[in-house]
Amino acid sequence: MGTPTDLRLPRYRRDPEGTHPPLGFDGYRSTALRHPKQPLVLLPQQLTEVTGPLLGPGRIGELDNDLTRQHEGEPQGQRIIVTGRLLDGDGRPIRNSLVEIWQANAGGRYRHTGDRWPSPLDPNFDGLGRTLTDGDGRYEFTTIKPGAYPWKNHDNAWRPAHIHFSVFGSAFTQRLVTQMYFPDDPLFSQDPIFTSIPDEKARQRMISRFDLARTVPEWALAFQFDIVVRGREQSVFEDEEDDE
Amino acid sequence: MKLGSTPSQTVGPYLSIGLPWEDGPFVVPEGAEGAVWIRGVVYDGAGDPIPDAMIETWQADPDGGFRHPDDPRGHRGPEFRGFGRCPTDAAGEYRIHTVLPGVVPGEDGAPQARHIDVSVFARGLLNRVVTRIYFEDEDNSGDAVLASVPEGRRETLLARRTADGYRFDVRLQGEGETVFFEF
């Protein structure tokens, strides 16, 4: 038990300007009434912020990482394998950590009462997946390539195909919800959620890479998507070799 | 090696497909000693409740310890998760079943008042926003974070006592806009 004055807390680097979207963004209509207008207040990173939930095996069911096997029958659409690593900004793997996804079906429809666009629901697809990263920070899902879908944001608006990802990192400061996109989607340029990211290089980091090596012959295509959360600033007691 | 972070994106309107857990609101199990309900509504700038938002909470146990290797002081047993998650319902309300966190030391040794960190996610929020819950009937004097907030806005961070716990509303915009933090 250390006394409070013994505390030497890690610090998490702030991301460069342009990495994340602004809270208010004219192109995305729903931000209008939902973004704070008062300036944000700087919160020093104290114990509450440098710790965070470490959610492990208790949150995972046996078939949670294979969205094609959660029902009696097989879902419609193109089977894909999505793999990647969860890393911090220093390239350190984040191990045994919960990764959650949700997505539309092959026709671009979500299993949700609020989704009314006339594309069929698939009785064999829920669009929900969970897994844990391994000792190397790797995760893997088997799923169906989601379809694009229309929404009412602007005239003839379509969301590019995407999979929602939710990760925790190892500190409250690292919590991230993002979306994984697919290479060469023709819908990127008209999508304000995608283009809300100011920095073009950061925007590209949301696009997965086709991964020929991981495709399974006569079975599934594969895409690779690494997720990076904020790295640590060097602290006085940190051991260079200690990557826990 | 320095890697650029993956950008944040909105959870969209259908977060309820992937994110809720049945026991998500239970930071402590039902019947735990000293348990309270924290309930509140998430409002938009027009004063309307937001039915597609989600609240996540993170807090110390009643002794002020965190379930985390970066807290060297230890923590309560496995029944204390420290983490709560609840999507808002059709009326914009969330609820979290928890216990009052203990006093947490700051790095300079000064105690922080009892508080809970909160992330708010919603359609229309391209990134989460973060706030802190403090408790109106606890001693909040001397808390450096609260003191750094403009005086007229501090009350937006105070949970109000109710019959079975506390009420903490979140206003994303407009009159009484909740104080949100960056770090």
DSSP class of A220:
B
User: A173 in helix, strand or coil?
Assistant: helix
Non-local CB neighbours of A167 within 8 Å, separated by 6+ positions: A86, A94, A97, A98, A99, A100, A174, A175, A176, A177, A178, A227, A229
pLDDT of residue A235: 57
Contact B62, B75 (CB under 8 A): no
**Contact state of B18 with A111 under an 8 Å Cβ cutoff:** no
pLDDT of residue A9: 87
Contact A244, A189 (CB under 8 A): no
> Mean pLDDT, consecutive 10-residue segments, chain B of 183 residues?
94 95 95 96 98 98 91 78 97 98 88 97 98 98 95 98 98 98 96
Scan for tokens 């808390």, then name that residue.
B143
pLDDT of residue B71: 85
Taking alpha carbons only, the member of B75, B69, B50, B61 closest to residue B178 is: B50
A140 touches chain B (CB under 8 A): no
> How many contacts (CB atoms, under 8 Å) link A and B?
250
pLDDT of residue A4: 47
Check A79, A85, A109, A159 and give the catalytic one.
A159
**Contact state of B128 with A175 under an 8 Å Cβ cutoff:** yes
Q: Check if A159 is active-site.
A: yes
What are the structure tokens assigned to B63, written together? 């002794």
ipTM for the predicted complex comes to 0.96
pLDDT in tens, A161-191: 999 999 999 999 999 999 999 999 999 999 9
Picking from A9, A33, A115, A128 by the largest number of B CB atoms within 10 A of its own CB, the best residue to mutate is: A33
pLDDT of residue A114: 93
**Contact state of A23 with B129 under an 8 Å Cβ cutoff:** yes
Q: Check if A164 is active-site.
A: yes
Give the separation between CA A31 and CA B152, rounded to whole angstroms: 25
> Mean pLDDT, consecutive 10-residue segments, chain A of 244 residues?
62 96 98 98 95 90 96 97 98 97 98 94 97 98 98 97 98 98 98 98 98 98 98 64 46
DSSP class of B165:
E
**Contact state of B6 with A229 under an 8 Å Cβ cutoff:** yes
Instruction: Name the closest residue on chain B to residue A22, using Cα atoms.
Output: B126
Q: What are chain A's domains?
A: 18-29+50-230 (2.60.130.10)
Check A110, A139, A181, A203 and give the catalytic one.
A110
Q: What are chain B's domains?
A: 14-171 (2.60.130.10)
The Cα of B155 is separated from the nearest Cα of chain A by a number of Å equal to 15
Burial A142-181 (b: 16+ CB within 10 A, else e): bbbbbbbbebebeeebbbbbbbbbbbbbbbbbbbbbbbbb
Contact A214, B24 (CB under 8 A): no
A221 touches chain B (CB under 8 A): no
Give the separation between CA B148 and CA B137, rounded to whole angstroms: 20
A70 touches chain B (CB under 8 A): no
